[in-house]
Amino acid sequence: MAETGWQLPATTDAPDDRKLMECVHCGLCLPTCPTYAELGVEMDSPRGRIYLMRAVVEGKLSLSASYQQHISQCLGCRACETACPSGVQFGQLLEGARAQIEQADAPHYPPLARWLRTLAFQGILPRPMVLRALGNLLLLYQASGLRALMNYPSVRRWLPERLAELDQLLPMLPKRAYRARLREVTPAQGEQRGRVGFVSGCVMPIFFAQVNDATVRLMAANGFEVITPRAQRCCGALHAHAGEREEARRLARQNLEAFAQARVDWIVINAAGCGAMLKEYHEILHRDPLLRGAARQFSERVLDVSQFFDRFPFRGPLGELRLRVAYDDPCHLLHGQRVKEEPRRLLRSIPGLELLEVPESDWCCGSAGIYNLVHPDLSRQILERKMKHLAAVNPDVITTGNPGCLIQIGIGVRQHGLTAAVVHPIELLHWAYLAATGKHVPFR
């Protein structure tokens, strides 16, 4: 493996050698790593990947195709950070390694993966108008009956297998009533308790508009004026995780400006992966002397929606929901933000709801941003392990707080023939609120 004398390319980002040295190679991270559990290869464990990163930094190893494969196969779930007694910040090291590959212009991607990356990171995510147009096209595809045809074996056998797989990754889009753009200012109901900024996200308005709608309605009903800035953009999480850190910085600067003008007390987000990114804006902008202070202040005000309702308990009455509910921890909420009990307390506050304990609820489902697109086979293997545990508790509802996890677990539910609905925790709180006011509850 050694390639002594290899010259490290000059890049803006790379794994910090001091942070690499914090790893004491104890191996306590290995039992928590999904790719190590599936593949049994040391270089596909956190410890093994740190060895590889150090070898590159020290000039002993090039950015070879083999190196890139091991780095690419990491889910970035950060379960190793929770397990690590030395506090190694593996997520930052991984992002640095991927950025180093991108900035050295060295990536070895299959053609489809390269096309998907370019389309997602440059053509869709940073462009709100393109996202809205895509949402309209997907809604037409769904409403026209074309998507229903994909379920017929006689049709599917004539389509490329990968196209059929991509179709399975699409959730059912919400009703048009939910898809109206959120108002920039939603007034507080009753006595005002504060003013919050809401991060509506880039994917959430397309696939989970009902979650955004419920989030804003509940915060307003809880006495908070809600500001949803029109100028906000994609948070940059998917870009940063994939090594596109310059684009992530550009998006972060836009969001800092948008929310600075909103003058809010707190910034609330209902997507776990995005929340982890927003709470780390000060890390990605730490070299920017003009913005690093503002970025830290921004990050300190970011709350996951479960944290918000834990800090400011819902003051209105809640109706009864007689449901057996399995909660699955999103990796970037549990391991990235260290938020574990808040979502559970929120769910337990709902009358009649039975919260089920799920084995390995802290284990990744295999979604991991665009992982299920670029590593579909390994993603399916990891999902299979998750679904066995969820099926064993036989819930009425499975709930999790991240869009990628909602999509991935929804696929698993369909493939395993389960009857459980897959929803965001805030939807359950909203159903209880509707039940208390005598309105129609979507699921009983």
CATH number of domain containing 370: 3.40.50
Our count of domains for the chain comes to: 2
pLDDT band at 2 (very low <50, low <70, confident <90, very high): very low
Report yes or no on 394 lying in a domain.
Answer: yes
- Half-sphere exposure of residue 104: CA atoms within 13 angstroms, side-chain side: 20
Instruction: For residues 244 and 157, give the distance between their C-alpha atoms in angstroms, rounded to a whole number.
Output: 36
Domain ends where: 82, 103, 124?
103
| Token duo for residue 178 | 């939910």
Task: Supply the pLDDT for residue 1.
Answer: 46
In a domain, 269, yes or no: no
Looking at residue 140, its pLDDT comes to 81
Per-residue pLDDT reduced to its tens digit, 259-315: 998 899 999 999 999 999 999 999 999 999 999 999 999 999 999 999 999 999 999
Q: Give the C-alpha separation, 308 to 302, whole Å.
A: 9
Supply the CATH number for residue 28's domain: 1.10.1060.10
Q: What three-state secondary structure class fits 267?
A: strand
Distance CA 104, CA 98 (A): 10
Which H or E element spans position 302?
A: strand 302-304
Paired with 355 in beta bridges are: 325
pLDDT in tens, 69-92: 999 999 999 999 999 999 999 999
pLDDT at 426 over 80: yes
For residue range 126-165, list pLDDT tens digits in order.
888 888 888 788 888 777 777 777 777 776 676 666 666 6
Query: Could you tell me how far CA 113 lies from the centroid of its own chain?
Result: 19
**Does any domain span residue 347?**
yes
Instruction: State the Cα angle at 396 between 392 and 399, rounded to 5°.
Output: 90
What is the rounded (10 degree) CA torsion for 57, 61, 65, 71? -40
Does residue 417 belong to any structural domain of this protein?
yes
Q: Is residue 427 part of a domain?
A: yes
pLDDT of residue 103: 85
Residue 242 lies in a domain: no
Q: Which of 103, 131, 165 is a domain's end point?
A: 103
Dump pLDDT digits (tens) for 394-421.
Answer: 999 999 999 999 999 999 999 999 999 9
Show Cβ contacts of residue 126 under 8 Å, excluding neighbours closer than 6 positions.
Answer: 233, 234, 247, 251
204 falls within a domain: no
pLDDT at 175: 67
Structure tokens at 371: 């992982």
- In tens, the pLDDT along 163-181 reads 666 777 777 777 665 566 7
Distance, in Å, from the CA atom of 87 to the CA atom of 399, rounded to the nearest integer, reads 29
Nearest to 97 by CA among 122, 117, 68, 118: 68
Residue 153 lies in a domain: no
Write out the residue range of the structural domain in which residue 94 sits. Answer: 17-103
Those residues whose C-beta lies under 8 Å from the C-beta of residue 428, and which sit 6 or more positions away, are 321, 323, 325, 347, 350, 353, 397, 399
Query: The whole model's pTM is what?
Result: 0.90
